[in-house]
């Protein structure tokens, strides 16, 4: 797709400085910009590149004042990073809106219903009594199980699987390879040492505007629902176990694992490779640093690090001693030798 500087300025409600008719058809980092590309400048560290970039159009903050001549057309906005993200979202929407219709071979159950604007890619499957809203995009090789509900503008990318009874809200994105609604890890030990499967009869509910990353798995509840509230954003390769609840606008980075029945508050930020044990309650606005292990209830606004996780301040104080343990050990040995020789 091709956009002119004038069109982009209109979309972003920005101020144009330069040629309104110059066109771009691709995106680039500012240091790698070339003719026909669009870039942006938000981090002052990259300011020198704006004087050498070959990008046709550059989005900048309104307070940017060039100190040298420029070869690029500027679009000035309040926040260059936010505006560039908005433009990417707009581009993605335009690109995906062009996908409509049902490709063959694919399968839609006779009892399934769907709204206008459906795109169903080749080899996709829609199960019995599934209900799909308007402008739903189901990409090739995706699976939507029986009795599943998908809201408006949902995107299910190639190879993703939404298992039976799942409820997906409006504007959700399920990326390739993700699995929503598979059985939870429920087994009961028997007297002979074997483990018996506990049927998982619940479901998964994703409220509006939830993103589920590639390869992420969200297990159905044993009873009731595993629930992700509106605005939750999950990175790739995350495990959400049965009956977990995650509050609004919480973001979780890759390779995090959350055990069954954990309750996580809203507006939390959880780093990569974090482990959270089952049946704990984590408050609102909690921040958990990468590779931490959380095994206790956490109050609102706490910042945690370490395994087992402690408060961020305590961890930093303790780390001073961790890294000096070898020196301290040598000092103790010297003192012991001195004491024994007296």
Could you list the active site residues? Answer: 242
Strand pairing partners for 173? Answer: 155, 211
Which residue is it, tokens 């029945």?
A: 261
**CA pair distance 130, 109, nearest whole angstrom:** 8
Which of 264, 239, 252, 259 has its CA nearest to residue 290? 252
Greater model confidence, 309 or 268:
268
**DSSP states of 4-32 as a string?**
EHHHHHHHHT-EEES-TT-EE-EE--GGG
Residue 85 exposure: Cα atoms within 13 Å on the Cβ side: 6
Residue 331's φ and ψ, nearest 5 degrees, are: -65, -40
Task: Using alpha carbons, list the distances in angstroms from residue 30 to 36, 65, 261.
Answer: 13, 17, 45
Residue 146 has pLDDT above 70, yes or no: yes
Flag whether pLDDT at 340 surpasses 90. Answer: no
Q: State mean pLDDT over 300-312.
A: 85
Reference 75, options 13, 24, 29; nearest CA is 13
Q: What is the pLDDT of residues 43-60, one digit of tens each?
A: 999 999 999 999 999 999
Q: For 28-64, give the DSSP string.
A: --GGG--TTEEEEE-SGGGGGGGGT---SEEEEETT-
State the pTM of this model: 0.80
pLDDT of 330 above 90: no
CATH of the structural domain 102-243, one choice from 2.60.40.10, 2.160.10.10, 1.10.10.10, 2.40.420.20: 2.160.10.10
Copy the structure tokens of residue 47: 């300011």
Q: How confident is the model at residue 147 (pLDDT cuts 50, 70, 90)?
A: very high
**Would you say the C-alpha torsion 175, 152, 264, 227 has a positive or negative sign?**
negative
Over the stretch 64-107, which tens digit does the pLDDT of each residue have? 999 999 999 999 999 999 999 888 888 777 766 667 899 999 99
Task: Please report, for residues 292, 305, 312, the alpha-carbon distance to residue 318 in angstroms, rounded to integers and kept in the order given.
Answer: 15, 11, 10
d(CA 172, CA 136): 10
Q: Which has the minimum average pLDDT: 219-223, 230-234, 314-318? A: 314-318
Computed on alpha carbons and rounded to an integer, the radius of gyration of the chain in Å comes to: 26
The Cα–Cα gap between 119 and 98 comes to: 9
Q: What is the average per-residue pLDDT within 101-121?
A: 96
User: Where in the chain are the domains?
Assistant: 3-97, 102-243
Counting beta carbons within 10 angstroms of the beta carbon of residue 331, is it exposed (0 to 12), middle (13 to 18) or buried (19 or more)?
A: exposed
Reply yes or no on domain 3-97 having CATH 3.40.1390.10: yes
């Amino acid at each position: 797709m091709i956009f002119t500087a004038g069109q982009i300025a209109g979309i972003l409600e920005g101020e144009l400085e330069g040629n309104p008719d110059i066109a771009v058809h691709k995106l680039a980092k500012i240091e790698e910009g070339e003719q026909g590309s669009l870039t942006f400048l938000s981090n002052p560290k990259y300011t020198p590149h704006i004087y050498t970039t070959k990008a046709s159009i550059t989005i900048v903050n309104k307070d940017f004042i060039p100190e040298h001549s420029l070869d690029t057309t500027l679009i000035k906005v309040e926040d260059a990073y936010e505006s560039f993200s908005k433009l990417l979202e707009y581009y993605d929407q335009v690109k995906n809106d062009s996908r409509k219709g049902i490709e063959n071979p694919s399968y839609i159950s006779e009892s399934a219903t769907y709204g206008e604007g459906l795109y169903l890619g080749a080899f996709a499957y829609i199960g019995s009594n599934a209900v799909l809203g308007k402008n739903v995009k189901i990409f090739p090789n995706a699976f939507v199980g029986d009795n599943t509900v998908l809201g408006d503008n949902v995107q299910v990318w190639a190879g993703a699987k939404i298992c039976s009874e799942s409820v997906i809200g409006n504007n959700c994105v399920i990326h390739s390879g993700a699995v929503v609604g598979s059985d939870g890890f429920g087994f009961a030990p028997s007297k002979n040492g074997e483990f018996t499967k506990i049927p998982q009869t619940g479901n998964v509910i994703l409220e509006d505007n939830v993103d589920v990353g590639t390869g992420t798995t969200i297990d159905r509840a044993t009873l009731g629902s595993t629930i992700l509230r509106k605005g939750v954003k999950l990175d790739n390769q995350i495990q959400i176990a049965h009956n977990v609840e995650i509050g609004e606008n919480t973001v979780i980075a890759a390779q995090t694992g959350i055990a069954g029945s954990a309750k996580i508050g809203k507006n939390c930020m959880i780093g990569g490779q974090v482990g959270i044990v089952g049946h704990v309650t984590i408050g609102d606005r909690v921040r958990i640093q990468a590779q931490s292990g959380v095994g206790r209830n956490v109050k609102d606004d706490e910042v945690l690090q370490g395994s087992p996780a402690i408060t961020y301040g305590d961890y930093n104080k303790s780390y001073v001693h961790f890294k000096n343990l070898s020196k301290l050990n040598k000092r103790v040995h010297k003192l012991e030798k001195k004491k024994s020789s007296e």
